[in-house]
Chains A and B, each alone.
Chain A
């Protein structure tokens, strides 16, 4: 029998030490030539240009179409898994995880707030295509196109089920992450999603040690908990959850009438299968109504409090912005709160810009974080309030159903459904 703790320890050692070693690669100082050699100009690598960018878009469109066909029409888990491997290899290891629709949220956000930033057309395509497919067909992008989902799908070995109630709480962190990512992109502070992409280091076989360890942790957890990043952190997943609730078509467990055999009950590693439930008693219903009325009153209070709390953290949030960090450093040096200088503060001084101008820019950024903090806090207050209301609402279900929001369209449940097998046999015989 396999001892899981050995696997955990072994992989943890592999990934963490591997990450450390990779991170140890230092940037080497240029040689000191004495023969008048002129160093080439430092250049920033260009983004993938021209036809290749559009090839990526076409591949995205093709994989999305195929994923939708395989999940909704063909209903074949193995084919979906095959496409997952392809997406991992192409969008993950070949394209090194960029561009991805998750990160594109930030580009699109930034284009709304920074008039000087023109979002590339390919980024728009990468942002819109998965959204459109989700709107019409559910989360088929998550099923087998997203490289981040794919790597977690591949490493999943022995899934354990996460209690539904725990998932409700953990999922809030994805909303927080989405809110922060939008706030930081809107203020031009950072592309948070890209900076803390846990898997991009593996795709590129290189990266910051902390991120590699962060990603390794996700992968190790992901061997036993299905897609932890997708379920509890992915900002795009949060958006997709809401869109897929209203999607025109979506994956169903059974191709026909559910016979309630309960074979599929434990098949989903993502807890996306909802069991049938009968109607509540009158007493339960009455209690529920009172509770929902209370929660409805609580909703604006949570929004208001969230806004206030969000405002109170503006100065801390603003420290994500490089200008604010630089201004704080320069100010501390100026007032003797720290000794010595940093490369950044030295470089700033060579520009000849007055300190007061830097402080002014930083103050303005802090102000924008005041408004941003209020909006972020209010958004989280709204989400928490709505979450409390939604979990209190009774939903009658007659059959085993795939949760519209949570279902990744991975197709595992198909293989467990006797109705599905019966249909396949019928098709074979025809």
Chain B
């Protein structure tokens, strides 16, 4: 009896606690609701009434702009502004306090409900353990379907997302060929040292005599407004070159037939715009040493400050991109290269260990960086070549101490050979199935280009010591390789084994690289004299043609014409009938 009484008493006590908890929760809930009503009313008031007040204030402010002397209006604005601010801060304060009340009441409500549920919870009764195998199998079956359904939802969501419209940043050029064919390139002179950068001309009807003083075979002569050591580049009837000084960087386009300056494309020269001292350049490279390049659609130029620019053939600037001033001891001088739609920039700089050097692949049409390939070489002054070797193309670079070949399509390194040194300026060439690189003052090196990785020990075909050039790049006719030093020593090596066939003092100073026209070598000296010599195992001077002006840039050759840039002028030489 007592036991039953105690039980009833306990039940009654529990019931009282339960009721208390529920009542508290209900009160807290009602309080929360009231707070919500107040907050909501405050929100409605602010969004309707104050919005109207704010608009009135804006209108009054617009009015005072028209009547700045209206002091009454000004006072009205002040009063309205003050009232508006007071209302706003009052409302914010109300919201702030309300949020705290709301939190407190929700917490009390939750605690009360938790207590009530705890009091009403019934403990489970002990049961005998059973086998849950069937449940496990059913769970596994349903889980697989559940996961599959989730997979379906994810895939469906992804398909919906994939189909969402997005904004294309560049014009779609579907179906349009955006880069020239190999045949088009071969018929033009689109870059430093012509097609492939080999210094070899596709035409053989090139003038063999001229004299500027006597106006002999000079088709035209046009002044170049800004100096530069870059070479002319020719595409059909247009000749391009670049020039610069402390105040301006420009690209020039000439009519190939008349020599008239068609347009000048100005490029940003940050140093001209700044109040700092003019940018110091090395005299032998100047502000505009790199030769421009073209893909037959646009022309591209880079200057000593690392700014790259692109113009269409009508002279409209398509884009401009600042790569930053290269850390180059003698000033940046590597010329630009095109491969298909890409502009390739050998941006070598620094000491080689700082990781500053890289090859930059830009989309020619847009300047979008397609990729950058870091390379641990110091600053170099060479211009890479693009050569078709076997079934693919190789982009071959030269810097201290590596000749490195890349796949221009994806930027992957193909092979490298440790064979160069010091400050490398002569560019590599490809001929007779070999890549030739020059270690200045020291040796000419021939490399077989079919290796992988570091081929120093395995693919260096030969190296020939002697009077190697420090600026001029070599040229190869398939049987012999010719190199020309700055002080005029022309060396001829057999391409197959590197045996030196002869060394000839031409008798002048040279910075322009030698070119090959048929079986003739064209050597343009600093004094503007073109030495034309027989290519082959024996040196035989055929002609000396004078321009009478200093020349440091390599000439460009087209059908029946030579384009030569002197210090001040651009010459077109053509045999007159």
Taking Cβ atoms with an 8 Å cutoff, the residues of A that contact B are 2, 7, 10-11, 13-15, 17-18, 20-22, 24-26, 28, 31-32, 154-155, 157-158, 163-166, 168-170, 172-173, 176, 202, 205-206, 260-263, 265-266, 275-280, 284, 302, 309-310, 312-313, 315-317, 319, 327-328, 331-332, 337, 354, 356-357, 359-360, 362-364, 377, 380, 384, 387-388, 391-392, 394-395, 416, 418
Contacts and interface: CB of A to CB of B under 8 A. Distances in A.
A172 B124 contact: no
Contact of B124 (A165, A262, A356): A262
Contacts of A20: 40, 43
A11 to B, nearest CB: 7
Interface in B112-146: 113-114, 116-117, 123-124, 126-133, 135-137, 139-146
Interface stretch (B158-166, B219-227, B280-288, B439-447): B158-166
B162 A24 contact: no
B167 to A, nearest CB: 4
Of A15, A266, A360, A392, chain B has the most CB atoms within 10 Å of the CB of A360
A348 to B, nearest CB: 14
Of B81, B142, B147, B154, chain A has the most CB atoms within 10 Å of the CB of B147
Given A24-B47, A276-B129, A309-B162, A165 B369 contact: no
A169 B147 contact: yes
Contacts of B40: 17, 20-21
Contacts of A332: 167
A360 B368 contact: yes
Contacts of A10: 29, 32-33
B146 A316 contact: no
B88 A276 contact: no
A364 B369 contact: yes
Contact of B85 (A22, A24, A28, A279): A28
Given A28-B88, A327-B169, A18 B142 contact: no
Interface in B80-96: 81, 85, 88, 92, 95-96
A261 to B, nearest CB: 5
A172 B155 CA distance: 12
A25 B162 contact: no
A166 B113 contact: no
25 contacts: A2-B22, A14-B33, A17-B39, A21-B95, A21-B99, A24-B47, A154-B114, A165-B141, A168-B143, A168-B146, A172-B150, A202-B103, A206-B99, A260-B128, A265-B124, A276-B131, A276-B132, A309-B159, A313-B161, A359-B170, A360-B366, A384-B147, A384-B150, A391-B139, A391-B143
Contact of B139 (A21, A164, A328): A164
The size class of the interface chain B forms with chain A is 35 or more
Given A10-B33, A165-B142, A168-B143, A21 B150 contact: no
B147 A312 contact: no
B132 A316 contact: no
Contacts of B132: 275-277
Contact of B43 (A24, A155, A280, A416): A24
Nearest to B99: A205
A328 B154 CA distance: 26
Of B22, B150, B161, chain A has the most CB atoms within 10 Å of the CB of B150
Interface in B515-543: none
B61 to A, nearest CB: 8
Contacts of B114: 154, 157
B27 interface: no
Contacts of A155: 110
Interface in B441-500: none
Contacts of B99: 18, 21-22, 205-206
B432 interface: no
B166 A328 contact: yes
B98 interface: yes
B305 to A, nearest CB: 17
Contacts of B155: 309
A173 B154 CA distance: 9
Contact of A164 (B117, B143, B154, B162): B143
Contacts of A391: 139-140, 143-144, 147
A363 B368 contact: yes
B124 A2 contact: no
B100 interface: yes
Q: Which 9 A-B pairs have the closest CB atoms?
A: A260-B129, A169-B146, A165-B142, A359-B169, A21-B39, A168-B143, A328-B167, A312-B162, A391-B143
B33 to A, nearest CB: 7
Contacts of B270: none
Nearest to A362: B169
B340 interface: no
B36 A13 contact: yes
B46 interface: yes
Of A21, A155, A416, chain B has the most CB atoms within 10 Å of the CB of A21
Given A22-B95, A168-B143, A278-B131, A354 B319 contact: yes
Contacts of A377: 158
B367 interface: yes
B102 A18 contact: yes
B149 A169 contact: yes
A262 B136 contact: no
B154 A262 contact: no
Interface in B1-46: 22, 29, 32-33, 36, 39-40, 42-43, 46
B169 A388 contact: no
A233 to B, nearest CB: 13
B141 to A, nearest CB: 8
B154 A166 contact: no
Contact of A360 (B126, B161, B369): B369
Of A170, A262, A319, A362, chain B has the most CB atoms within 10 Å of the CB of A262
A376 to B, nearest CB: 10
B139 A309 contact: no
Contacts of B133: 277-280
Given A21-B98, A392-B144, A262 B22 contact: no
Nearest to A172: B150
A261 B126 CA distance: 5
A172 B128 CA distance: 35
B320 interface: yes
A418 to B, nearest CB: 8
Contacts of A157: 110, 113-114, 117
A315 B116 contact: no
B147 A316 contact: no
Contacts of A176: 154
A316 B29 CA distance: 44
Nearest to A291: B144
B389 interface: no
A169 B150 CA distance: 6
B76 interface: no
B151 interface: yes
Contacts of B388: none
B139 A165 contact: yes
Nearest to B162: A312
Contacts of B95: 21-22, 24-25
B541 to A, nearest CB: 51
B106 interface: yes
B297 interface: no
B52 interface: no
Nearest to A13: B36
A176 to B, nearest CB: 7
Contact of B135 (A22, A275, A418): A275
Of A10, A279, A362, chain B has the most CB atoms within 10 Å of the CB of A10
A262 B129 CA distance: 6
B412 to A, nearest CB: 16
A172 B154 CA distance: 9
A355 B133 CA distance: 65
A220 B95 CA distance: 23
A346 B36 CA distance: 40
A244 B116 CA distance: 34
Contacts of B81: 31-32
Contacts of A275: 132, 135-136
